[in-house]
Structure 1
């Protein structure tokens, strides 16, 4: 499994913590930035992660900004992306089970590092249930331009 991960300046410190967790668990990743706390534009990094996931170069993605809202909107502009903004581990689990989300978004100002690591763990290890949910995901995908 290869994970694409990106953030803006507001998510930089939390991203660094998640990168350590990914390394500790031998999970391959591509860090698309940003690389410090200097102000940057979140859509750039949301799109970079989404393009890597959409193209198949990465299996799943993680995006982070201060609230998770803006960067999740940016990621969801890319065809084939189902980016879910989560702030708890149940949401991270259910968006995989029922929505087959391929990117998780989180807000560094909303969740702390312990919760963020747990959400990433749950997100990466939960399988899509398929069945009636597959029909619904297909309907979601058909909405895209």
Structure 2
């Protein structure tokens, strides 16, 4: 599995903890697309778009984004058509993000949770898979249809 991770200046400490965890996880490759120190003023919307575009392009399977609360990167990621991002601050929501919502991205807040909980959240998310034949399948199809409806009206 290929994972993209990224965080703004507030989320960077949590991104670093996630990166350290992912280094120890078998079968996972990852790339950190956080802004460099020289571009630390980059907005989280720009960073989120860069990360989720790499998922839509097929370079990565899933993504993990972090900011201070996880809210800004979640909202930003969800503005990109075709992306389903979920704010996760516990392992249950991480599991359901994958299993019930087929979320390609989870987001977390470095000012909300600590590094050990973040690692547990990432583990649960990566261990969970969406089954389109499950009872959640029609809900995800409806989300995708809604996404398509508004993409057509914008374009």
TM-score range, shorter chain: over 0.9
Q: Which among 88, 93, 116 is matched to residue 91 of structure 1? A: 93
1:21 alignment partner in structure 2: 21
- What is the match of residue 73 of structure 2? 71
Residue number among 132, 136, 140 corresponding to 1:133 in the alignment: 136
CA distance, structure 1, for counterparts of residue 90 and residue 34 of structure 2: 24
Q: Distance in 2 between matches of 1:123 and 1:117?
A: 10
The residue that corresponds to 1:53 in the other structure is 55
Shift of residue 142, structure 1, vs aligned partner:
1.2
Is the Cα contact below 8 Å between 1:54 and 1:78 reproduced in 2?
A: no
Give the Cα–Cα distance (whole angstroms) in 1 for the partners of residues 73 and 52 of structure 2: 10
TM-score (norm 2): 0.88
Which residue of 2 is the match for residue 107 of structure 1? 109
Per-residue CA distance 1:18-45 (angstroms, 9 max, x = gap): 1111111142112111244944311111
Aligned counterparts of 2:69 and 2:35: Cα–Cα separation in 1: 16
Uncovered stretches (5+) of structure 1, i.e. residues with no partner: none
**Length, aligned pairs only:** 145
The aligned residue for residue 5 of structure 2 is 5
* C-alpha distance in structure 1 between counterparts of 2:61 and 2:131, whole Å: 17
Q: Which runs of 5+ in 2 are unaligned?
A: none
Partners of 2:146 and 2:100 lie apart in 1 by: 17
